[in-house]
Amino acid sequence: MLEVVNLTKRYGESYALNDVSLSIEQGTFTTILGPSGSGKSTLLMSIAGFVDPTAGDIRLNGRSLLPVPPERRNFGIVFQGYALFPHLSVRDNVAFPLRMRRLSSAETERRVSEALALVQLQDYADRFPRQLSGGQQQRVALARALVFKPALVLLDEPLSALDKGLREALRGELRRLHRKVGMTFVLVTHDQDEALELSDRVAIINKGRLEQCDDPVTLYNAPKTRFVAEFLGKSNFIPVRKLGVDGAVVRLQAGGVVLEHEQAGDATGAEAVLVLRPERIQIAPEGAPVGPNAVRGVVEETSFRGAEISVTVRTEIGTLLARAPSAHPFVRPAPGDRVVLHWMRKAGYLLDSADGTEAAGSG
């Protein structure tokens, strides 16, 4: 198990990492997700041993890694831009870590062809990196990082240099590879879809701080901060005041409307923010029979996005964004239409007002 304990990295007055703690279980796929400049690469390079932290510790199975130089950490790294050695063939690139470990030439040869087979590049062993496409180079970098059976595989934005179609294809391949080799993977990326699709756990970093570390479903449905909610797709933020608790149901006051809300776990303070994903909001024509949590409004704008239509509605509790399947048989909202927006009690997630506003300022 890899543990990052209160890790801090300061450059002069500014913090690249500020008191970050994280633990990564053996065999899992963990993604460190954050916007550029958030400190996620500093975190990865600290784990790799190329950045000396100012404070805190990094431990592998209980032992501190800080005194261990990069070449003795035994971590496979796929660098951004791959960092393939241009003067070595594919075979020699992949054999490099084995030669550094003085494996016998027979063993080296066996493992290299095994690793190349794993990424389906058996036929490219004698090529040089510049003779390969971006996707192929990426797979060589993977093979090189896996071939010495490292304790941990670190991937620094491995897909960012590729175009969209290839990126999606390689995502699938990366996941299959992870299942097949069963090693611990740590991926750094700024791409939310990549993080959600690939990972067992996602750690979201912003301005050097860890915002939240959870499995993708929890992150999406129960963001702990406004930053997390905003970074993973669009959300509506409705300021509310708590009126009272009635069993599992919390009653909330938003503008002139009373909303009902149900949420597992402890309720927050009196002032709160209700986070509501657009796709959880239903649109109905005015006057249609609806349940609780109904607000009336006028459609301001619609935009067609293929599978769905997103609709901006000015309501009595503020402007809300909703999404409806574009193939919906009845609902064809157009600007100026009067509609009712409604949602189920469990559709939203209540955030402490403080969490909501603190992160709100960061945009």
Strand (E) or helix (H) holding 137: helix 134-146
Nearer to another protein, 77 or 90 (CB): 77
Give the shortest CB-34-to-another protein separation in angstroms.
Answer: 20
Give the shortest CB-249-to-another protein separation in angstroms.
Answer: 53
| DSSP 3-state percent helix, strand, coil across the chain (nearest 5) | 30, 35, 35
The whole-angstrom separation of Cα 56 and Cα 20 is: 8
Helix/strand/coil for 22: strand
Nearer to another protein, 68 or 360 (CB): 68
Q: Given the rule CB under 8 A, which residues bind another protein?
A: 48-50, 69-77, 79-81, 83-87, 96-97, 100-101, 128, 130-131, 144-145, 148
Give the shortest CB-75-to-another protein separation in angstroms.
Answer: 6
Give the shortest CB-243-to-another protein separation in angstroms.
Answer: 57
The whole-angstrom separation of Cα 131 and Cα 116 is: 16
Give the shortest CB-127-to-another protein separation in angstroms.
Answer: 10
Nearer to another protein, 144 or 190 (CB): 144
339 has which bridge partners? 285, 297
Q: Which residues contact 222 (CB under 8 A, 6 or more apart)?
A: 214, 349
Rg (CA), the chain: 25
Nearer to another protein, 50 or 314 (CB): 50
Per the structure block, which two tokens stand in for 232? 């993973």
Beta strands 294-304 and 308-315 are antiparallel
Give the shortest CB-85-to-another protein separation in angstroms.
Answer: 6
The whole-angstrom separation of Cα 231 and Cα 17 is: 19
Nearer to another protein, 148 or 220 (CB): 148
Per the structure block, which two tokens stand in for 198? 């690939």
The whole-angstrom separation of Cα 283 and Cα 168 is: 32
Q: Please, where are the H alpha helices in 34-89?
A: 40-48, 70-73
Give the shortest CB-141-to-another protein separation in angstroms.
Answer: 9
Shortest CA distance to 50 belongs to which of 151, 146, 143, 154? Answer: 154
Neighbours of 255 (CB within 10 A): 14
Q: Which residues contact 194 (CB under 8 A, 6 or more apart)?
A: 31, 159, 167, 171, 187
Nearer to another protein, 89 or 312 (CB): 89
Nearer to another protein, 101 or 346 (CB): 101
Nearer to another protein, 28 or 80 (CB): 80
Nearer to another protein, 88 or 290 (CB): 88
Give the shortest CB-140-to-another protein separation in angstroms.
Answer: 12
Give the shortest CB-79-to-another protein separation in angstroms.
Answer: 5
Q: Which residues contact 25 (CB under 8 A, 6 or more apart)?
A: 1, 184
Per the structure block, which two tokens stand in for 327? 């193939």
